[in-house]
Structure 1
Amino acid sequence: MSEPSADESRIDRRAELLPEEQEAGSDDPQAQAEAILEESDERTDAPEETRHESTQTPD
């Protein structure tokens, strides 16, 4: 059996729901983790481009 890739391991770790996520529930923690990490990677890779789309960062 092959070892999971770094991305798969990262997704698996993030798919472990935080307490507040457990309380709210999740139909698909794996898909939720993939979406969260994809968005995070976009913000990390292109901070200036994504900054204007964010409601959390001031202009």
Structure 2
Amino acid sequence: MTDIDNSDQVAERAHLLPEELAAGSDDPTAQAEVILAESERRTLEPEATQQESVQSDQSTSEDRTVADHA
């Protein structure tokens, strides 16, 4: 993402959520940029990021498709 493409998104995301306000943030804009970059990466590389995630199972979409049809 470039600054031109996402400046509105960054500005909007820099408005902290209630739980983020409670935790505090030294730089909401920098935080927004990181969150949006990670989100874009998950969108563009779902299999790679799923394998890296500790919050998801390790099966791939192909594994789940095969299991659904079994």
TM-score of the pair, normalised by structure 2: 0.75
In structure 2, C-alpha distance between the alignment counterparts of 1:17 and 1:38, rounded to whole Å: 17
Instruction: Mark the runs of 5 or more structure 1 residues left unpaired by the alignment.
Output: none
**Equivalent residue for 1:27?**
26
Q: Sequence identity of aligned pairs in percent?
A: 53
Shift, 1:56, TM fit: 1.1
Q: What one-letter code is carried by the residue in structure 1 that aligns with 2:57?
A: P
Q: What one-letter code is carried by the residue in structure 2 that aligns with 1:36?
A: I
User: After superposition, what is the alpha-carbon deviation per residue over 1:13-54, rounded to whole angstroms, capped at 9, x for unaligned?
Assistant: 000000010011000000000000100100010101111100
In structure 1, C-alpha distance between the alignment counterparts of 2:5 and 2:45, rounded to whole Å: 21
Matched, 1:54 2:29: no
| CA RMSD after TM alignment | 1.4
Bigger helix fraction: 2
Instruction: Mark the runs of 5 or more structure 2 residues left unpaired by the alignment.
Output: 59-70
Higher RCO (CA-CA < 8 Å; seq separation 6+): 1
Work out the number of aligned pairs and report it: 56
Moved over 6 A (4+): none
